[in-house]
Amino acid sequence: MLSFRTTGYNGYGVRYSPFYDNKVAVATSANYGLVGNGRLYLLSINDDGSITQDNIFDTQDGLFSVAWSESHENQVLTSSGDGSISLFDITLSKFPVMNFKAHQREVFSVNWNLVEKHSFCSASWDGTVRVWSPMNSDPLLTLTSAKDHSVIASAPGSKMAPPLSAKPSLENTTNDCVYNAVFSPHDANVIISCNSASHLQIWDIRSPQPLQMDFIAHGGLETLSCDFNKYRTSVIATASVDKTIKVWDLRTISGVAHAGSPLQPHHNVGPTPLNRFIGHDFAIRNIAWSPHSGDKLLSCSYDMTCRVWNDQTDDKARFLNKTNHGQACVNVFGRHREFVVGCDWSLWGEPGWVASTGWDEMVYIWDAKRKY
């Protein structure tokens, strides 16, 4: 396990470079991201196990997410609390090479298109997902879910409908802060996003009506993170304030709203997931499927742990003809001393290396297969 301290700045996002096997970008914010500056760290992992700081960029507002360019080895995107997205060249200093400003509120995630490599998407608390080209400071496309998010999902087996865990606020009356939006690694035109009204939305940016599917993923509780499985094209995972991670096969989700139609009343509970990971003690902030294996998922949570999960519903596991209930959580990483907010898998070397960062100002590089 290797570590680096981002003194004075609380970690929000961490990403391994897709070009250099030893570079990591970390998005951080002063004062826990509640108010104040942000800082982008570019770190190098050295052969002797030390981590050194290559470069830093200070920003006006806190940074909440980071993404490496898939087309240029020195470019990194950050998203900020003031609604701006910036593209930095890590060989330069101080200022970004490009600014993208269209979001009205905090941008909580940026994600580079892995297939087409010339576009990226962003998710914001202003309720929109935007698609951008790095060449153009205006967004290519804005995905807005013109839906009634006051719809209340009811928990199964309960007579009383739980209210949405996030209340509509003055700044967001429709209660649809989008927390995360990611491109499919299989199709350059598909995006999934999740929001504070517990909705998981699937978009096809080729379509004049991009919203393809929309369902309540976590029974009314805020859904904070979502990710596409890198091996199974129709499988995604979502993570929520309800402390669970759900694995979904999009092919099995039927009878829910399509293309802007209101949610069907018989589906106010939301469809049934393929699998559910229970173990975190508090809301789960970020999840990532492994780049090396279709059944491994990494998660990090407000309970100060990262966990590694083994998804038994993976196609390969089906033929193993044995049940492994209760063995889904294969590793718990408990070194963080505060909320763990960002995590990522390394694409390089021996499969299983991961990076995590959190409010304890620490970046840890650790092996998902080892117990610490």
List, in order, residues 6 or more apart from 267 with CB less than 8 Å away: 215, 216, 255, 256, 257
Under the criterion CB under 8 A, does residue 9 sit at the interface with other proteins?
no
| Gap between the Cα atoms of 187 and 351, Å rounded | 24
List, in order, residues 6 or more apart from 291 with CB less than 8 Å away: 230, 345, 347, 351
For residue 306, give the nearest of 325, 280, 345, 278 by alpha carbon.
280
Min dist CB 78 to other proteins, Å, is: 17
Radius of gyration of the chain (CA): 19
Min dist CB 214 to other proteins, Å, is: 21
Q: Which amino acid is at 274?
A: L
Q: Which of 123, 213, 224, 245 binds other proteins (CB under 8 A)?
A: 224
| Gap between the Cα atoms of 353 and 351, Å rounded | 6
- Nearer to other proteins among residue 35 and residue 92 (C-beta): 35
- Nearer to other proteins among residue 222 and residue 311 (C-beta): 222
Neighbours of 372 (CB within 10 A): 11
Question: 74 to 93, contacts with other proteins by CB under 8 A?
Answer: 81
Under the criterion CB under 8 A, does residue 325 sit at the interface with other proteins?
no
For residue 310, count CB atoms less than 10 angstroms from its CB and return exposed for 0-12, middle for 13-18, buried for 19 or more.
middle
- Nearer to other proteins among residue 86 and residue 301 (C-beta): 301
For residue 348, count CB atoms less than 10 angstroms from its CB and return exposed for 0-12, middle for 13-18, buried for 19 or more.
middle
- Nearer to other proteins among residue 105 and residue 292 (C-beta): 105
Write each residue from 18 to 57 as x if it is in contact with other proteins (CB under 8 A), else as -, in one continuous string: ---------------xxx----------------------
| Gap between the Cα atoms of 178 and 111, Å rounded | 13
- Nearer to other proteins among residue 31 and residue 52 (C-beta): 31
Beta bridge partners of 143: 129
Min dist CB 84 to other proteins, Å, is: 15
Min dist CB 191 to other proteins, Å, is: 22
Question: 93 to 132, contacts with other proteins by CB under 8 A?
Answer: 106, 125
Write each residue from 258 to 297 as x if it is in contact with other proteins (CB under 8 A), else as -, in one continuous string: ------------------------xx-x------------
- Nearer to other proteins among residue 119 and residue 244 (C-beta): 244
Write each residue from 162 to 181 as x if it is in contact with other proteins (CB under 8 A), else as -, in one continuous string: xx-xxx-x-x-----x----
By rule CB under 8 A, what count of residues binds other proteins? 26
Min dist CB 83 to other proteins, Å, is: 12
Min dist CB 253 to other proteins, Å, is: 23
For residue 285, give the nearest of 226, 328, 231, 345 by alpha carbon.
226
- For 6, phi and psi rounded to 5 degrees? -95, 70
Contact (Cβ atoms closer than 8 angstroms) between residue 218 and residue 241:
yes
Min dist CB 200 to other proteins, Å, is: 17
Contact footprint for other proteins (CB under 8 A):
33-35, 81, 106, 125, 155, 162-163, 165-167, 169, 171, 177, 196, 221-222, 224, 241-243, 282-283, 285, 302
